[in-house]
Structure 1
Amino acid sequence: MCGIAPTAITLIIFRVFQAIGGAMMASNSGAIIADTFRREKLGRAYGFTGMGWNLGAMLGIVLGGIITTFIGYRYIFFINVPIGIILFILAMKYVRDNARERQRLDILGMILLAVSVSMILYAGVRIASVGLNLINLITLFIGFLVLVPFYFREKLFTSPVIKFSMFKNKIFRNSVLASMFQGLGFMGVAFMLIMYLQGVRGFSPFYASLLLLPGYVLSGVLSPFMGRFSDKYGARLLATIGLVIMMAGISVYLLLQVNSTIYIVLLGSAITGLGGAMFWPANNSAVMKSSEEGRFGTASGVLRLFGSLGIMGSFIIVIVAATLAIPRYLAFEIFVGTSKLIGGIEKGFINGMHISFLFLIAMLVIAALLSLTRGNENAGTYIKNNHLK
C-alpha cells in the first residue's frame, strides 16, 4: 500500500500499519530466541541474528540505492512483499510456541504509552523539520506528562506493559539504557554521511550507499564470533570495548573535508562495524540473561522501545545539526539525492557535521559508562534463581 500511496498523508497512514507489524516482529524475535536457546548460548544466538540483520541491511542499502537511482523510490516498498511472504511461510513452519500464560492485556497502558511516545517523537521530528516553536514545546511537554499516569497504571495492573521492577536489576537497567544511548550516538551517523557523500561530493544514492558497506559486512561476519565470546567471558567488557571502538570510528569521520579521500569513509565504516559486532550480541544477551523466565517478551519489547527512542533521537540530532549550516529543505533534498551543495556553503555544512559527530561521540561515552558499570552477569551458566520478583 505504501508503494501505491497517492499522497503523503496516505503514505504516512500506511507506514503506521507497517510500523505496527514491524514492532510485533522485532519485539517478539528477541523473546523467541531467549525461549529457544539455553542462556549460556544466547550470545551466540544473538550473534547470528546480528549477522542476519547486517546482511539484510547491506542488501537493503545496495538495493535501495539501485532502486532509488534507476527506478524510483516507490519500488523500495514493493520489494518487501515477496520477502514478507517467504518469511511468513517459514515462520509458520518452524516457529513454535512455548508454554503460554493467560494474562489480561493492558489496553489502557498500551494506549497511554503509545500516546506518550508518539507525541514525544512527533515533537522531536517537528523540531528537526521546522524548528522550535510553542506548539512543538507543548506537544513535547504533554508527551512526557502522559508518562506519569502510565507509570502509576503499570504499578497497579497485574499484567503491565512494562514491569518497572525489572529496572531494579542493574544489569538489565544499564544494558537497556546503554542500548538507547548507543542508538543516540550512532544511528544518525549514516544519515549524515549520506548527506556528505551526496551533497558535498555529488555522488549518486547508489554509489554513496556502496561506500557504507564495509561496516555492515565486517559486523555481519564477526557478530557470531563476538556472541560466542560474550557467552564465555561475559557481556560487560566486550560491549564496552565495542562502544569505544565505535567512538574511534566516528572520530575518523572528523577528518572529512570537502575534497578528502574517500578511504576515510571506508575506514570509519569498517571500524564502527567492528565495534557494532562486539556491542549488539553481547548487550542483547545481557538483557535477556538478566530477565526472569516468562518475561522475555516484555524484556525484548522494552529493549526495542529504548533502542528505537535512541535511533529517532539520533536522527533528530543530526538533522538539527545539518540545518544549523544549511536550509532545512536543502538538507532533505540532499538526503534523497535531488540537490548538491554549491556556492561555497560546503564548509559550513562540514563544520555542522563535525559538531554533530562530537555530540554523537558524547552519547556513546555515556553508553560506555553504563555498559562498564552494569556488573557481570553469570556468563556460561543457567540462571535458575532469578531475583526479579
Structure 2
Amino acid sequence: MQEKTVNSSAIIILTSLGFFMSMIDSMIVTTATTAIRNNFQISVNLLQWLLNSYNITIAALLLVGVSLGEKIGRKKVYLVGIAIFTIASICCALSNNIIELIISRMIQAVGACVMTPMSMAILTHSLPANIRGKALGIWSGIGGLALIVGPVLGGFIVATLSWQWIFWINLPIGIITIYFSHILLPESKGKEDKLNFTDLLLITISSAGIIWSLSEITTQTSHVITTITGLSCLVLGILFIIRQKMTTTPMIPLILFHSKVFTNGNIATFLLYASMFGVLFFLPQYFLVFEKTNPLIAGLQLLPWTATLVVIAPFAGNAVDKFGEKIIATLGLFLQGIGYLLIILLVNVTNSYIAMAIPLMIAGMGLSMAGPALQKSVLSAVEPIYLGKASGIYNIFRLFGGAIGTTISVIIFNIFGGITNSIAFAHGFDAVLITTGVISLLGIVFSLKLTTRRKL
C-alpha cells in the first residue's frame, strides 16, 4: 500500500513538472522582451514572433502530438517532448540573433505541444479513480503556479543575470524530469489515429503566413508581396477546411461545428485569449519603458493580474456548475474587457500603481471565470468519443487567438504610438488597451448563445 502511494505521488510530481515547464516558458519570456529587443536592436513587429511562433507551432502540432502519443506510447512521446524542449532551450540561450531565437522557440514548441496533453493523459490513465480528481487539481494548480512565477522569475533573472538564463534554467529541470520519468512513469497507449502530414503542413503554413501578413502590412511601403502571401495562405487555409470535410480521418472534425454551442464557445475562447495575449505582450514593456522600472519590479507588478487567475479559478469552476456556462462566461468576458478599459481611465487620472492594479485584478477575475466556463461548454457539447479532438480544437482556438491578438495589438500600437519615446509608447499602449477591451466585450455576442447547464 505504501509503495502505491509513493508511485502515485511520483506520477503526480513528474507529470506536473512537464506541464509546469511548458506553461512557464510562455510566461517567463514576457518580462524579458524589452531586454531581448534592446539586445538585438529589433522592432516590436519582429519581437512579437517570440510569442507567436511558440503559440502557432503548438496549435499546429497539438493534435499530431496527441495522435503520436496514442499510437506509439504516451510515456515515450512525453519523454521525447521534454528532451526536444530542453535541447531547444539551450539553442534559445545560445542564439546570436532574433531569427535564431525564433527558430529555437519553434523547436521548443514542438516539444511543448506534447508535454501538456501527454502529462494529463498519463496522469489520468495511471491513477485510480478515487484520487484522480485530486491529482488533476494538483496538476492544474502547479500549471497555474507558472502564471504567477513566470513573470516574476523572468524579471528576477533579467535583473540579476541576463535574459539567456530564462532558457538555461530549463536544462537541469528537463534532465531531472526525463531521468525520473523514464524510471517511474508507466507506459500506456490509446486509440490510434491516422496521421495526415498534408493537413499538418496546410494548417501550419496558412496560419503562420496569415499572421505574418497581418503583422507586416503596416510596416512596409509596398504591400504587394505581403498581400500575395496573405491571400495565398488564406487559400491554403480554405483548402485545409475542404480536406477536413472530405477525409474520413480529419484532423479537425467539422461535424463538431454543427453544434452552435461548440462553435460559439470556441469563437468566444478565441476572442477571450486574443484580448488577454495582446495585453500580456505589451504590459511588461509598458512598465519597463514608460514607468522605467527594472524587470524584477515589472514582474511583481503583474501579480495582481496573474495571481488572480490561480486564486479565482477553483471558485469559478464551482460557479459554473451552480449558475451555468453562459452566465459565468459572459460575466467573465465583460469583466476582462471592462478591466482593460478602466486602466486607461484610472491611470490617466492618477499615476498611482493602485490605479492599474485594481483593474488588472478585475480583468484577471474575468479571465479566470470565462476560461473554465467556455472550456466546459465546448467539451459538454460533444459526444464522449470526440472529447480528445474537442479538447485539442479548444486549445487550437485558444492559442491562435493569442497569436492573432498579439498581432492585432502590434498593428494598433504601431498606428497610434511607437517605441521612439515613452510618450509615444504610452499612446500606443492606450490604443492597445482599448482594442483588447473591445475584443473581450465582442466575445459576449457569442457567449450569450451558449447553453446554460447547471448542476442539479
TM-score (norm. length: structure 1): 0.82
Matched, 1:313 2:389: no
Match of 2:370, as an amino acid? F
Maintained 8 Å contact 1:3/1:75:
yes
Q: 2:271 aligns with which of 170, 178, 181?
A: 181
Q: 2:452 aligns with which of 376, 381, 388?
A: 376
Q: 1:135 aligns with which of 225, 246, 258?
A: 225
CA 1:349–1:296: 2 relative to 1, 3 Å: same
Distance 1:164 1:31 in 2: 24
CA 1:117–1:49: 2 relative to 1, 3 Å: farther
Matched, 1:291 2:367: no
CA 1:250–1:116: 2 relative to 1, 3 Å: same
Maintained 8 Å contact 2:268/2:447:
yes
Report the Cα offset of residue 50 of structure 1. 5.5
1:221-300 equivalences under 5 Å are: 221-255=311-345, 256-257=347-348, 260-300=351-391
Q: 1:19 aligns with which of 86, 89, 109?
A: 109
Report the Cα offset of residue 159 of structure 1. 1.1
CA 1:301–1:153: 2 relative to 1, 3 Å: same
1:364 matched residue in structure 2: 440
Maintained 8 Å contact 2:194/2:249:
yes
2:394 matched residue in structure 1: 303
Give the secondary-structure state (helix, strand or coil) at the position aligned to 1:190.
Answer: helix
Maintained 8 Å contact 1:174/1:371:
yes
Match of 1:298, as an amino acid? K
2:53 matched residue in structure 1: none
Maintained 8 Å contact 2:154/2:296:
yes
Distance 1:288 1:44 in 2: 20
Report the Cα offset of residue 148 of structure 1. 2.2
Match of 2:341, as an amino acid? S
Maintained 8 Å contact 1:47/1:281:
no
CA 1:75–1:358: 2 relative to 1, 3 Å: same
Give the secondary-structure state (helix, strand or coil) at the position aligned to 1:318.
Answer: helix
Maintained 8 Å contact 2:202/2:236:
yes
Matched, 1:165 2:255: yes
Report the Cα offset of residue 67 of structure 1. 1.2
Matched, 1:217 2:302: no
Maintained 8 Å contact 2:278/2:432:
no
Distance 1:62 1:16 in 2: 23
CA 1:102–1:308: 2 relative to 1, 3 Å: closer
1:85-100 equivalences under 5 Å are: 85-88=175-178, 93=184, 97=188, 100=190
CA 1:168–1:85: 2 relative to 1, 3 Å: farther
Give the secondary-structure state (helix, strand or coil) at the position aligned to 1:352.
Answer: helix
Distance 1:194 1:214 in 2: 13
Report the Cα offset of residue 155 of structure 1. 1.4
Maintained 8 Å contact 2:305/2:364:
yes
Distance 2:412 2:140 in 1: 30
1:337 matched residue in structure 2: none
CA RMSD, 1 decimal? 3.1
The structure, 1 or 2, with the larger RCO (C-alpha pairs under 8 Å, 6+ apart) is 1
**Which range is displaced more, 172-181 or 246-255?**
246-255
CA 1:281–1:15: 2 relative to 1, 3 Å: same
Report the Cα offset of residue 31 of structure 1. 6.8
1:62 matched residue in structure 2: 152
1:149 matched residue in structure 2: 239
CA 1:318–1:148: 2 relative to 1, 3 Å: closer
Query: What percentage of residue pairs aligned between the two structures are identical?
Result: 26
Give the secondary-structure state (helix, strand or coil) at the position aligned to 1:261.
Answer: coil
CA 1:369–1:83: 2 relative to 1, 3 Å: farther
Please give the per-residue CA displacement for 1:247-298, whole angstroms capped at 9, x wherever unaligned: 2211221122396111112112211111122111222122222232232232
Match of 2:428, as an amino acid? G
Match of 1:212, as an amino acid? L
Matched, 1:195 2:285: yes
Match of 1:351, as an amino acid? H
Distance 1:43 1:249 in 2: 32
Distance 1:258 1:294 in 2: 54
Please give the per-residue CA displacement for 1:117-150, whole angstroms capped at 9, x wherever unaligned: 1211222333466577222222111111102221
Distance 2:221 2:317 in 1: 42
CA 1:316–1:66: 2 relative to 1, 3 Å: same
CA 1:349–1:3: 2 relative to 1, 3 Å: closer
Report the Cα offset of residue 89 of structure 1. 6.0
For structure 2, the 5+ residue unaligned runs are: 1-90
Report the Cα offset of residue 199 of structure 1. 1.8
2:25 matched residue in structure 1: none
Report the Cα offset of residue 45 of structure 1. 8.8
Maintained 8 Å contact 2:288/2:298:
yes
